[in-house]
Amino acid sequence: MSKDLFAWIKNNQTIAVLILSIVLSFAVFGNGIFNDFTFDDVAVVQNRGDLKDPSNFFNLFVSPYHLLAKLGLFRPFTMASYAVNHYINDAILTDSATSFQQAAGFRVANIIIHALNSFLVFWLIRCLFKNRFLSYATFLLFLVHPIHTEAVTSIVGRAELLAFFWSLVAIYFFIKKDTFLSSVSFLFALLSKEVALMALPILFYVDWGVMKNRFFQTINRTFIFTPVVLVYAALRYKALGAYFFGDVTMTIVGNHLKFLPLKERVLTAFKVLYMYLERLVWPVHLSADYSYSTISPVSRFVDLTFLVGAVFFIFLLGFLVFRKTHGTAVAFGALAFLSPYIMISNLIKPVGTIMGERLMYFSSFGFILLFSYVLLKVSEKISKKIIYVFLALLIIFFSARTIIRNGDWYDARTLFTATLKESPNSLIARMAMAAVHVKDDEWDEAKEQLNIALDIYEDNSRVQNLWGIIADHEGDQKLAEERYLRSLELNPDAINAQINLAELYAKQGRLEEAGVMFKKVIEFYPVIEYVVRYAYTQIALNNPDEAISAVGYYLGDDLNHPDISALAGTAYFVKGDYKMALFFLKKAVEFGNTVPEIKEMIQISEGNL
């Protein structure tokens, strides 16, 4: 039996590696499947109403990634994949499914994509360099590396996974000389995440440097991607308009490198490269956040972290231009690292964040290939058995670290507890931890986190909003209003501050002001809860027509919901249209709404017909 199995594996090596990739991917990342939505997953995936509406599917391809165009992000293929996950959840899960269960399907998809990516790594290295050890070592190390946890276990990491997947598929078809499928794949890569643009230099180098085609022939072949870039640019402009070239709202909290002098920015960017290298080589100290003020600026050239990062960068550039390494795995690995890294490096232009482990997903491929090449060369000098044992131990260590790291993403509390151990000066992590305490009615702990956040940086919209929440809880509504208004002054699009201020005004009986704020909320975030709140505010202000209009505009014609039907019935009742009121109020009861006032309005409506 074992002989037959080994014979089958030998004769079907590609299929065997694909199966192995899927099995190992689930073995290493599977313990994170039933983690909750955490961090950016909540806003980007869980609470996006436009992703849950099948009629909105094609509109996603001309919509900003974060709904706000000014953030400069456009990733429609990734959003479409989230939408499909939501549709599947609606088909197979009941209304009582927990958020952990709802998140599971998203993570299963991520694990499968990572398995496919790891398999494509194996295929590409074997195809280009015909070396068994190099292809297997790169494949296995890439599959289990702990720095990939954020890309795989964090749902929003899917943008990295899909951009990498479609980029390698584009390379596959390019090598096979199928220009149409290569172009389509490259377009999908661009629509997954902007970093895929840097697959172009890799495609060029594969054809010219590795496949040894003539330089001008390669130029002609890569010119076929021009229409793809133009189509992508047109869609991007449609979605982002004036923000086509990127984020113009960056704050010091998101990336303080933007606000440093050029010298300090460059020196600190190389320090960040050193930190990436440290986590690639020894992935023990991992964090979900590195934003202000986790990474201190570098101002002197003699700083060791800058020197290590800069020297590594220069070495990689040397591998690309050195004649002896031209077309080798070394040069390809250097390019595979540098090409995507340049886009997230902050060296040319500051990006939305200073550092993130998921941003290393593409570049890690190049680093792991270089590392595997070093092992290959060492194995030629010493016993191969020693290298095999070392590689096996490293794979076991990486796998164990990844499995442990998956647990940190279990829910918001475990994630930000782990994050603060590694990044105690992270303002974002402090605020997130305070939000966890607020949600669990741990107000003293929340206030402690707020005070630390205020010491780190006070003039931040989310810090001010959190301050307002705690003030409101303590009964100081005047201070709460001041803090919410300050939050909106710092960021007029701060949706949570808008919601909290609207709730505060409603609680104080300031209905006109509450209506204005709820209207701002639903213009950006038209979920049922806040549309209903806005509509009831208008009913209380004796504007039933505006309430009916808002329901129709934001929620459509489908009123088969106990709260929406009740709302429509109430609006028609106040308007004096008892026939329509009776129709919708009875629907509300039919759908399970048991509020006593509904029965009273039904009796009055029946008496007036």
pLDDT value of position 55: 86
pLDDT value of position 11: 63
Average pLDDT value for the chain? 93
Q: Is 5 a residue whose pLDDT tops 70?
A: no
pLDDT value of position 523: 87
pLDDT tens-place string over residues 88-115: 999 999 878 999 999 999 999 999 999 9
Which CATH number is 526-609 given?
Answer: 1.25.40.10
Residue 31, H or E segment: none
pLDDT value of position 563: 86
Q: What distance lies between CA 468 and its chain's CA centroid?
A: 28
- Phi first, then psi: give them for residue 351, nearest 5 degrees: -105, -170
pLDDT value of position 235: 97
- Phi first, then psi: give them for residue 93, nearest 5 degrees: -105, 150
pLDDT value of position 254: 87
Residue ranges of domains in the chain: 2-406, 526-609
Q: Is 220 a residue whose pLDDT tops 60?
A: yes
Match 């806005």 to its residue by tokens.
534
Q: In which band, very low, low, confident or very high, does the pLDDT at 562 lie, cut at 50, 70 and 90?
A: confident
CA 488 to CA 461: how far, in whole Å?
A: 7
What Å distances lie between residue 122 and 116, 161, 339, CA to CA?
10, 16, 20
CA 292 to CA 256: how far, in whole Å?
A: 7
Q: In which band, very low, low, confident or very high, does the pLDDT at 397 lie, cut at 50, 70 and 90?
A: very high
Question: What is the identity of the amino acid at 509?
Answer: G
Which of 14-28, 517-531, 544-558 reaches the highest mean pLDDT?
14-28
Percent of the chain with pLDDT over 70: 98
Q: Which of 280-289, 432-441, 443-452, 597-606 has the lowest mean pLDDT?
A: 597-606
CA 254 to CA 184: how far, in whole Å?
A: 33
What Å distances lie between residue 397 and 46, 279, 515, CA to CA?
33, 14, 56
CA 115 to CA 118: how far, in whole Å?
A: 5
pLDDT value of position 6: 56
- Contacts of residue 254, defined as CB under 8 A and 6 or more positions apart, other chains included, come to 291, 292, 352, 353, 354
For residue 423 the two structure tokens come to 């990044």
CA 555 to CA 528: how far, in whole Å?
A: 7
Q: In which band, very low, low, confident or very high, does the pLDDT at 1 lie, cut at 50, 70 and 90?
A: very low
Average pLDDT value for residue range 169-173: 96
Percent of the chain with pLDDT over 90: 80
**Total residues found in the chain within this entry:** 609
Cα dihedral 409→143→355→407 (10° resolution): 10
Q: Is 524 a residue whose pLDDT tops 90?
A: no
DSSP state at residue 345: S
Q: Looking at per-residue confidence, does 274 or 2 come out higher? A: 274
For residue 481 the two structure tokens come to 């209003």
Average pLDDT value for residue range 382-404: 96
Q: Is 186 a residue whose pLDDT tops 80?
A: yes
- Contacts of residue 11, defined as CB under 8 A and 6 or more positions apart, other chains included, come to none
Q: Which of 5-19, 36-50, 261-275, 290-304 has the lowest mean pLDDT?
A: 5-19
Q: Is 486 a residue whose pLDDT tops 90?
A: yes
Q: Which of 77-86, 138-147, 570-579 has the lowest mean pLDDT?
A: 570-579
